[in-house]
A and B are shown apart, each in its own frame.
Chain A
């Protein structure tokens, strides 16, 4: 019995871009990489929340197969390639896709400088959007006194959905609609955020990587030029991210 328990926690190894990385049973490739301070680009993953695997930026080659690192179990002896020019080119294209499908207004966006989509663009050396703009019509929801929902900037990463459901225990958000019509909806009869019980301190109100969910009157607390990604790379901040501990006891 004791032996089995040791076996389960005994570290196995895989390699990422040639570097040997230990992992524990149950960890994904992403978990193992982050623990070893190796950055695999990602937007829809946030340590402490159940992974979703929708943004596809973290797709790596594991034993020659393209898989999303955040949802793929780590295996002993697995050979993972991540930081390759081919994969980074695809990540760039996927980031560009996220830019063109929504209405991203970086120069006038409150989130500019704190935005992970923008930071991903910096990290991958994105100089233009490449694809044509979709210019969708999406609804803004300004019905809540402290939290603003601007769907124009939503990248459908599902982080707020999971944060609200699994950590805040409020289940305020969901994604509805199919294909390009997918959109963030609010779990109230009216569909309005103002009728929900979301509060500005909730994880769901703060986890948005882009400027889709904004806390009112706080957007310019730190001036442009002194914001997170004015100083740091997304590859640095990713190493310190984890949902606050209050969520843990609900697990």
Chain B
């Protein structure tokens, strides 16, 4: 009997399928610094997939490359909080100078490559980068010099100062969920005792709404999934926290993974799932070992696996799938596509994942924080949960606060807290604006700081970016526009082309080349992208521009030139290539 149980205890590999397409490609990328055309064909053969599908996957995700990157491959975040300009100096430029690298081009000796990437979720740690996939935080001029030396000396990463890679858990304010961990297993025991129907009723009764940002009723989602017919039901945890300025899931995964897996098991119990996935964003790969160990512990305690806690017929396994750099995979149907080993292109909805999700089967997909809240409700009851917050936004919200404030970090508030309160707590003085919900969310000016964080007022998936008086807000808009243009999946015309056009138009404005008509034009274009795109990315991609136009119109006015027309192309800049080719920089090589 003991032998039988031992043999049933899953090994490490059960939690992480090395043969998942994304993991196989990651291994190749890691080993060869790129994925060659031959490798694509080889993997297609191994997986019995069309070559085109493997090629499409390689080309879709940012962390796969067709051409070799350096043995030291640095991806500097370009987020407004953890980006390479966050510390006041441009550390990307400094690194490139010190290492004699052109951004985006691998140095001729193959040693080093430096590029930028979207927010890596280290916003509470200052300017940060991923080096060979590992987050290295707190970049400053001194560290840049040291990094350049270590790279030149070809010191292996394992011998670099350990504290550069130490990621803290800066929890500044605790509420319902961030209190000390209750004994792991308690929630699940209660749920098993109460039974699936009663547990579901508790979740419904608690008023819990999805914490990813959309705010759909979690209880209703689970109910639809439970009622949906299918060969199998699945539970998916969306840990693809990609909205710039969000890092609360990173902290939750680091410090509350037990509760998360328990929440997933409770969901599985309710919807009747035997298999679950944690989709971890590629930027958080460094958490993989920790999460696998947490899962192992769960299996050992029989909180996962077969006949969970002696409950005959309740079997549930969790597998971790690691993404490879694509913001769009935070959209649940794109995430499911990615789980299935495809490019993360949002599906046509309806049907919704709750009835036709992973492999076309009923799938309950929720955010990390939502599952942890569900575990809380199962243990402490719906009344205690709904006693906190507002009528339509029950419970608490965990915020990731960063930017121009003294105490960045993770804060848990009851829903309904005012923005001003949050700013007071995080040491945000002389703040001119806050961006709530990330680039896809809302930009609010000082006169709106009395407003509340809640689904009925200002909603957020967790990102709370603070911009002080001296911050150039138009450059923030430009940063966000670049983000959406880079992250658009390319499926539909308005988003694929429109986000590029918006980025170009903002550059024209920031460069001081725009005329009044360009401002009208960017407003029209913003509305068009938002109204005609296929998915939530496009629908929200220009929020920040419309908000800026509404709250800070003078910023745009100040930068425009008083003439009827100016060309979109910067003619002077367009000559730069010609100047480089001809090695000229004399007066005649410039426009007047």
Binding site for B on A (CB under 8 A): 51, 53-57, 59, 66, 68, 71, 73, 90, 93-94, 97-98, 100-101, 131-132, 134, 155-156, 171, 173-182, 185-191
Asked if residues A56 and B569 are in contact (CB atoms below 8 Å), the reply is: no
What are 28 A-B interface contacts by the 8 Å CB criterion?
A51-B348, A54-B491, A66-B531, A66-B532, A73-B350, A94-B532, A97-B501, A98-B493, A171-B52, A174-B53, A174-B55, A174-B56, A176-B343, A178-B60, A178-B487, A178-B490, A179-B485, A179-B486, A179-B490, A180-B485, A180-B500, A182-B496, A185-B59, A187-B52, A189-B41, A189-B44, A190-B37, A191-B55
Which 4 A/B pairs are nearest by Cβ-Cβ distance?
Answer: A182-B490, A174-B52, A187-B52, A97-B497
Q: How many residues of B contact A (CB 8 A)?
A: 44
Asked if residues B343 and A132 are in contact (CB atoms below 8 Å), the reply is: no
- B55-71 contacts to A (CB < 8 Å): 55-56, 58-62
Cβ-defined partner of A56 (8 Å) among B348, B504, B532: B532
Binding site for A on B (CB under 8 A): 37, 40-41, 44, 50-53, 55-56, 58-62, 326, 343, 348, 350, 485-494, 496-501, 504, 525, 528, 531-534, 568-569
Query: Which residue of A is nearest B58, CB measured?
Result: A176
Given contact pairs A59-B531, A179-B490, a sample of 20 additional A-B residue pairs in the complex whose CB atoms are under 8 Å apart: A51-B348, A53-B492, A55-B492, A56-B493, A97-B494, A97-B498, A101-B497, A132-B504, A174-B53, A174-B55, A176-B58, A177-B490, A178-B62, A178-B326, A180-B485, A180-B490, A180-B497, A180-B500, A187-B50, A188-B51
B115 to chain A, nearest CB (A): 15
A57 to chain B, nearest CB (A): 8
Chain A residues near B492 (CB, 8 Å)? 53-56
Chain B residues near A56 (CB, 8 Å)? 492-494, 532-534
Chain A residues near B51 (CB, 8 Å)? 187-189
Query: What separation, in Å, do the CA atoms of A156 and B350 have in the docked complex?
Result: 23
Query: What separation, in Å, do the CA atoms of A173 and B44 have in the docked complex?
Result: 15
A78 to chain B, nearest CB (A): 14
Asked if residues A54 and B534 are in contact (CB atoms below 8 Å), the reply is: yes
Given contacts A180-B496, A181-B490, contact A174 B326 (CB under 8 A): no
Cβ-defined partner of A132 (8 Å) among B59, B486, B494, B568: B568
Chain B residues near A68 (CB, 8 Å)? 534
Asked if residues A179 and B501 are in contact (CB atoms below 8 Å), the reply is: no
Asked if residues A185 and B52 are in contact (CB atoms below 8 Å), the reply is: yes
Chain A residues near B493 (CB, 8 Å)? 54-57, 94, 97-98, 155
Chain B residues near A98 (CB, 8 Å)? 493, 497
Chain B residues near A59 (CB, 8 Å)? 531-532
B591 to chain A, nearest CB (A): 18
Chain A residues near B525 (CB, 8 Å)? 93
Chain A residues near B348 (CB, 8 Å)? 51, 53, 71
Query: Which residue of B is nearest A174, CB measured?
Result: B52
Asked if residues A179 and B55 are in contact (CB atoms below 8 Å), the reply is: no
Asked if residues B488 and A94 are in contact (CB atoms below 8 Å), the reply is: no
Query: What separation, in Å, do the CA atoms of A182 and B40 have in the docked complex?
Result: 18
Query: What separation, in Å, do the CA atoms of A157 and B552 have in the docked complex?
Result: 38
Query: Which residue of B is nearest A157, CB measured?
Result: B493
Query: What separation, in Å, do the CA atoms of A156 and B491 have in the docked complex?
Result: 8
Query: What separation, in Å, do the CA atoms of A177 and B486 have in the docked complex?
Result: 11
